[in-house]
Structure formats: structure tokens, C-alpha cells
Amino acid sequence: MSFSTGLFVFLYLPACLLFYHALPFRFRSVWILVASWAFYAWWRVDHLALLVATTSVTWLLGRWIAADLEAQKKRVRAALAAGVSFNLGILAYFKYTNFGLESLNALLSTLGADTIPALNVILPVGISFYMFKATSYLIDVYRRDAPVAESYLELAAYIALFPQLIAGPIDRYRNLASQFRQRAHTFGYFSAGALRFMLGFCKKVLIADTVAPLANSVFALDRPTFVDAWLGAGAYTVQIYFDFSGYTDMAIGLGLMMGFRFMENFRKPYLATSITDFWKRWHISLSSWLRDYLYIPLGGNRRGTRRTYVNLMIVMVLGGLWHGPAWTFAVWGAWHGILLAFERYRGVARRKQAVPRPVAIAGTMLLVIIGWVVFRASSLQDAFRMYAGMFGLHGFGLSTGLLWQFDTLAAVVLGFAFVAIYIEPWVSRREKDRSPVWQRVTANARLVVLPLFLMSILKILADSSQAFLYARF
């Protein structure tokens, strides 16, 4: 069940919120857990069993760590190692077994040896996100950065919390523990949450889903031209941002409607002035998770310059592979790792920008788009075809292969999306203007969200919405 489907909007969500607000507060966490497990079981019941098993093991080991933290250091470290190994081991099995066997068989075929039969392991939806939540809980309890969960119910509700279950944000338990025990339910929170949900819905359905066919068509071409390649790369750049940030807006909005305050996952990433700045703005919950639980334990920048560069590369390549079991994701991670290391070497993150801000934004955006090409491509060969097109090696005009399926609406929405991205800072600054005229403009702009939301509903009823991109990771 996806947020952008009629089933969710017309059946699941109203029933979930109605029962939630009708119950006394002490029963609301129970309902959150029941509703979240039902939401997840809609895909596959057996995968729900894996979620429950992960939660149960994490709960038991978390209690063990908290109980023995003072007296039995070795036992505590063993329990932590067991929990982290269990969670990440399951993630590795389901996510990378097929990839590992395919890579090994390719090598064996090259050497003329017999190949290994494929297992065809099915990846459970959202496993990357809930495994990271479970793992961070154990580490934070061990570090005393988070309290141990007071009950199994509380921890299970945190891990399975349905607004975050499929694609984040990866909120830490320490940020939500107090909210499970006490949170405010006001009309202001609910209305703000509903507005945020509708805004995210519109971003996903009206923008991301509209430009997606253009990106798909270009990436399917054998010889994309200069115009083709840049149109496709631009379309995917818009698609992935409005798809994922739309999901995040919907998740945050759902949380507000139930009294939760989730972390922000985006801060205008396409306005970054460097790649270092980009990773402070894009998928913030993942980048901070990788920093706190991988980069810093590896030594961070405390073990010399060369080790810092190595650590950056390790973290970014693993971060790329976290998105999917493919060499394209590894290359994408390595691309960002190289750029981060280079910027650190040049001191970009520490010094004042030497170039005008618009130029820095444009340069960073170019590097990000280049990275998105290999991220989106089905294989490295497909990525190289796109890069060849971006350099004009296959010609410059719109190809006949794209012309016959060119969608004018998608091109218009693509242009609108880029305008919206770069006009947003001006709008944000003007929101601080307390003049009566601007206040009326702001109020009327918010009213536009409702008819756009209704248009989105009609669109998904007419032709079903596409799955969220990050639900695949």
C-alpha cells in the first residue's frame, strides 16, 4: 500500500486517524503498532514476520545491554555486536545475495568455471530503513545516547511507525522516545500536518510522476543525443527530488496529524554551493546516520589526512550500495566520495566561497546531475551511453526515437519544477514580510494546495500513481 493510492487516501488513512483520535492516549501506541503492522502486511505477510523478528531480537538485546551496562562490559559489547550483526546480516542477505551471486557467476563464467544456481531472494520493502532504525537504537542505548524502551510495545511502534516505515526519514529513537510517552494533539498540529501531507502528495503525483515517463524514455534510448540526454538527466533530477521530498512531506504530515514531530530530511538541496553542502541538505537522516555510526567509528578526520579521505570513500561507497545492490550505485557513491575528498583537500567546506553564489550553485548542480545519471542507469553501459549523449557524441538535436513519444506536458512541468526550486528562497524570505498585502498573498497561496490535491486525486484515479523511488531501496 502506497501513500499515493486511492486505497490509502480513502480507506486506510481515514480509518487509522479516526480510531487513533477516538482512543484514550494510553491505547494510541497500541493502535499505531496494529495499524503499522497491517500497513506493512499489505505487501507480504511473511515479510511482516521478519519485521516482528527483528523487533523482538532488538528489544531483548537492548534490555540486556541496558541491564549490564555497568557490571558486564564484555557481555554488553558481545550483545551489541550480536544485535548489530543480526540486523545488518539480515539486511545483507536479503539485499545483496542476488547481487553477490550474479557478480560471482560473471567472474566464474569468464574463467570458464561452473556457475552457482541463483536464489532469487525477494527484497522486503522498507528493510533498509527499519534495519537502520533498529541498529541505531542498540548503539545509542550502548552509548547512553538514548533511553532503553520502557516496553516492547513502544520499541515495536517506533520501528514499525508506518509514516516512516517504507522510506524514512530515519528518525533516531532518542528523538521520538519522549513523544511516545507524551505528545500534544491540537487542531493546529493536525491542520498543519494535513497541509504538509497534501503538499507532498501534489509534489509526488503532479510533478514527479509527470516527468518520470520523460526520464524513462530517454534512459531507454540506445543513442541519446545532446538534447535527449540533458532532458532525461534533468527530468530524473526533478523526479527523484520531488518524489522523495514529497514522500518526506507526507510522512512528516502524517506524523503531525498524530502529534509526532519528525526530523526534516531536506533543506533545499539543489541550492547547495558545494557537494559538502549538498550532503548537509539531501537525505539528512541517512547522511547523519552514516556520519554517526560509520564515519566517526572509522576514525572520521582524527587519524590524519589520508585516512580521512579513505574514510570518506568507504562511507560514500557503502552509502551508495545501501541504495541498491548494483555497481551503478557503488560508482555513484564513489563519485560523491571523490568530490567530498577533493573539496576537503581544497578547503571548500571551511572557507568562504571564492565565487559568486549563483555560480557555485550552478557548478554543484552540474556535478549532482552527472551523479544522478549513473544512479538512474540500469547498468554502467547505459550510463556511459547517457554521458556520451551529454557530450554530444550522438548528435545534438532531438532524436526521432524520442520525438515520437515526446510529452509536451512533461516538458512544461519539468521547466516549472526547476523554476519552483530556484524561486523558493525568494518566497521563503518574503514570508518574513509582515505587511498585510504579503500576508494575504501567503494565505491565498496555501488555499491553492487543496484544488491541486484534488487534481492529484483525480490523476491517480485516472491512471494509477507510480511507486515511490526510495521504497525500492
> What does the alpha-carbon distance between residue 361 and residue 348 come to, in Å, rounded to a whole number?
13
**Confidence at 426, pLDDT banded by 50, 70, 90:** low
Please check whether residue 370 lies inside any domain of the structure: yes
Mind giving me the DSSP string for 250-304? HHHHHHHHTT--PPP--S-GGG-SSHHHHTTTSSHHHHHHHIIIIITTTTTTSS-
Neighbours of 133 (CB within 10 A): 27
> pLDDT, tens digit, for every residue of 87-134?
999 999 999 998 889 888 888 888 888 888 888 888 899 999 999 999
Q: How far is CA 101 from the centre of its chain?
A: 27
The three cell numbers locating residue 420:
519552483
Please check whether residue 312 lies inside any domain of the structure: no
Please check whether residue 419 lies inside any domain of the structure: yes
> Are 177 and 193 in a shared domain?
no
> Are 174 and 208 in a shared domain?
no
Q: Which of 153, 182, 211 is the last residue of a domain?
A: 182
Please check whether residue 329 lies inside any domain of the structure: no
> pLDDT, tens digit, for every residue of 91-104?
999 999 988 898 88
Mind giving me the DSSP string for 407-447? -HHHHHHHHHHHHHHHHHHHHHHHTT---HHHHHHHHHHHH
Please check whether residue 288 lies inside any domain of the structure: no
Q: Which of 182, 211, 232 is the last residue of a domain?
A: 182
Contact 127, 54 (CB under 8 A): no
> Are 59 and 124 in a shared domain?
yes
Please check whether residue 136 lies inside any domain of the structure: yes
> Are 24 and 106 in a shared domain?
yes
- Does the pTM surpass 0.85? The reply is yes
> Are 258 and 142 in a shared domain?
no
> pLDDT, tens digit, for every residue of 281-326?
999 999 999 999 999 999 988 888 889 999 999 999 999 999 999 9
Which positions are catalytic? 323
Please state which of the ranges 253-257, 443-447, 465-469 shows the lowest mean pLDDT.
Answer: 443-447
Q: What per-residue confidence (pLDDT) applies to 16?
A: 95
> Are 78 and 178 in a shared domain?
yes
Please state which of the ranges 114-128, 206-220, 333-347, 433-447 shows the lowest mean pLDDT.
Answer: 433-447
Q: Which of 182, 216, 250 is the last residue of a domain?
A: 182
Range(s) of the domain holding residue 89: 6-182
> pLDDT, tens digit, for every residue of 380-392?
999 999 999 999 9
> Are 394 and 269 in a shared domain?
yes
**Confidence at 423, pLDDT banded by 50, 70, 90:** confident
pLDDT at 395 over 70: yes
> What does the alpha-carbon distance between residue 466 and residue 464 come to, in Å, rounded to a whole number?
7
> Are 86 and 230 in a shared domain?
no
Q: How many domains is the chain built from?
A: 2
> What does the alpha-carbon distance between residue 263 and residue 175 come to, in Å, rounded to a whole number?
9
> Are 162 and 197 in a shared domain?
no
> Are 123 and 245 in a shared domain?
no
pLDDT at 429 over 70: no
> Are 172 and 224 in a shared domain?
no
Please check whether residue 385 lies inside any domain of the structure: yes
> pLDDT, tens digit, for every residue of 172-199?
999 999 999 989 889 999 999 999 999 9
> Are 268 and 132 in a shared domain?
no
Please check whether residue 22 lies inside any domain of the structure: yes
